[in-house]
Structure 1
Amino acid sequence: MMIKLQAKDMDFGYNSSKILQNVNFEIAPSKLVTIVGPNGSGKSTLIKCIDRILAPQGGSILIDRKDVTRMTRMDMAKYLSYVPQSSVRIFPTNVFDTILMGRRPHIGWLGSERDEDKVWEVLRLLDIERLAMSNFSELSGGQQQKVLIARALVQEAEVMLLDEPTSNLDIWHQLDVMNIIRDVVKKKEITAIMALHDLNLASYYSDRIIMMNRGKIIAAGDPQSVITEENIAKVYRVEAAVRSLSDRPVIMPLRQIRGARA
């Protein structure tokens, strides 16, 4: 089943402070989509609104033309999986049992041999079988992030949401995690939507980029059309040189543009 995700006129805020304003997008199935923007632009908030961790105050999120606000959490978990930042969640269990939690939308709390087979399948896919009996809290940041991705994958949802999946990781582990996400999108034919700070990682790995500023979508499309010198200057207040490498934009920041952020 191929799932299309849509946001229509979505708003979110705290009291009188608007975080998201009139957000509209449509994401085709089996794509890797990255949401970029400066701190406070609404990237993580948008991810959390899609997953209903936060409740939008206006508009709607549609999955396969179904409004997520009318789904039970268990039904929604069959469509959407969520990978938090690695530093956000600590599980007092071993890796195998942490990943097995992802099967709950299908089995409740009681697992079966088939569910355990699914866990081993994902462990092999991510090449982390050796960590199966390790304590989650004792893993490195990169290893924890792989386990969180594995927990989302074993859920067998059509859309995987990731909130800053490379935060607090060194460059080797950033590439490792991004390669895993890209490969999973292709092999499993799912859609991945992630919030990301690094424009070069976003440019290299994404099929589509959504650039946000102050809660609004400023640009959306393929990396070449979104990652431009003009958009970087407008949104980040940074003068940058953008060059093409293997048909992907590569960004070299040059200097700050002084004055109030746009």
Structure 2
Amino acid sequence: MSLEISGLGFGYRTHKLFDSLDAPSLRRGEVTALVGPNGVGKSSLFRLVAGLLNPSCGRICLDGCNISGMSDRHRAERIFLLTQHTAMRATLGVFDVVLLAKRGWRGGRATGDDIARVEQALEELGIDHLSDRLVTELSGGQQQLVALCQALVRDPDVLLLDEPTSALDLRRQLEVMSLVQRVTRERRIVTVTALHDLGLACRFADRFLLLHEGSIAADGSPYEVLGAKVTSDAYGVRLAIEEATNGAIMVHADLLEPRRSQITNS
């Protein structure tokens, strides 16, 4: 049971992002970090997997089923995308917004189980005290937590997180990624997250995929991918990896020597 991407093609007008992208099988119960510099197409790849964009060629399959053959409703129930832009404009309270996400397209009255699940999710993320607040009154970081809460109560098969900690302070980043890691393993979800903070990604991801020049250029453990020359080349920095005494992986980056032409022209 897994998510598989093969021969994927996509681009915007004259700018081609992917020609024939293949991604190794993404397994349930694992957190995969999708890494790479800005502009390589991480957000676009997430939108393709979620069915919000249509590829020019190729296949995206979940447990052997091509997502292009799923109805919008079925696909949305199985695949949840949390984007990095989580601004909420609905004049609803936090509890109601999360409950609507839990109910999805089912309609009718919420059950006792629905309400209990929403209460549990809000408590797990430490935002149960915001239940009665309007989402429009919340800070960007608080709205990001509400959006993650919506994702967790939906119980998707695939959870796509595009910079899920970008608006959070350090403590919240650790709490959120710890919860994501635990839920991924307990519920056997395919979780893929894009993170610019490579140290945070190392701490919580089981696997790294490097997206570079339209393809998956490296695949493996944090050590394997961050230690690969192609990763340093992709970011334009010299990467060094160090394991701290507490087991955490620390990532150090240094600028590569500038080219002579850059010095001359500066």
Q: TM-score, normalised by structure 1?
A: 0.89
Instruction: Name the structure 2 match of 1:18.
Output: 16
Instruction: Name the structure 2 match of 1:141.
Output: 140
CA distance in 2, matches of 1:147, 1:169: 12
User: Residues 15, 215 of structure 1: CA spacing in aligned structure 2 closer, same or farther, 3 A cutoff?
Assistant: same
Which of 175-184 and 159-168 deviates more? Answer: 175-184
Larger Rg: 2
Instruction: Name the structure 2 match of 1:63.
Output: 62
Instruction: Classify the secondary structure of the residue corresponding to 2:34.
Output: strand
CA distance in 2, matches of 1:222, 1:20: 24
One-letter code of the match for 2:124?
Answer: L
Instruction: Classify the secondary structure of the residue corresponding to 1:201.
Output: helix
One-letter code of the match for 2:22?
Answer: N
One-letter code of the match for 1:35?
Answer: L
Equivalent residue runs for 1:68-107 within 5 Å: 68-105=67-104, 107=106
User: Residues 99, 141 of structure 1: CA spacing in aligned structure 2 closer, same or farther, 3 A cutoff?
Assistant: same
The alignment status of 1:252 with 2:234, answered yes or no, reads no
User: Residues 231, 248 of structure 1: CA spacing in aligned structure 2 closer, same or farther, 3 A cutoff?
Assistant: farther
CA distance in 1, matches of 2:113, 2:73: 20
Q: CA deviation at 1:89?
A: 4.1
Which of 138-147 and 68-77 deviates more? Answer: 138-147
Aligned residues: 258
Instruction: Classify the secondary structure of the residue corresponding to 1:107.
Output: coil
Residues 199-236 of structure 1: CA deviation (Å, up to 9, x unaligned):
11111110111111132211011111111162332111
Residues 22-47 of structure 1: CA deviation (Å, up to 9, x unaligned):
22121011111110000111111111
One-letter code of the match for 2:21?
Answer: V
The alignment status of 1:113 with 2:130, answered yes or no, reads no
Gaps of at least 5 residues in structure 2 are 262-266
Contact 1:229 1:239 in 2 (8 A): no
Which of 243-252 and 166-175 deviates more? Answer: 243-252
Q: CA deviation at 1:4?
A: 1.0
Instruction: Classify the secondary structure of the residue corresponding to 1:60.
Output: strand
Q: CA deviation at 1:87?
A: 4.0
Cα root mean square deviation, aligned: 2.2
User: Residues 152, 248 of structure 1: CA spacing in aligned structure 2 closer, same or farther, 3 A cutoff?
Assistant: same
Contact 1:82 1:161 in 2 (8 A): yes
User: Residues 89, 139 of structure 1: CA spacing in aligned structure 2 closer, same or farther, 3 A cutoff?
Assistant: closer
CA distance in 2, matches of 1:29, 1:54: 23
One-letter code of the match for 1:58?
Answer: C
CA distance in 1, matches of 2:253, 2:57: 37
CA distance in 2, matches of 1:8, 1:248: 33
Residues 149-187 of structure 1: CA deviation (Å, up to 9, x unaligned):
110111111211111112233333322322221122233
CA distance in 2, matches of 1:164, 1:171: 14
Instruction: Name the structure 2 match of 1:181.
Output: 180
Q: CA deviation at 1:255?
A: 1.6
Instruction: Classify the secondary structure of the residue corresponding to 2:254.
Output: strand
Contact 2:207 2:222 in 1 (8 A): yes
Contact 2:226 2:232 in 1 (8 A): no
Contact 2:82 2:162 in 1 (8 A): yes
Gaps of at least 5 residues in structure 1 are none
Which of 96-105 and 191-200 deviates more? Answer: 96-105
CA distance in 1, matches of 2:258, 2:103: 50
Q: CA deviation at 1:124?
A: 2.7
CA distance in 1, matches of 2:228, 2:249: 10
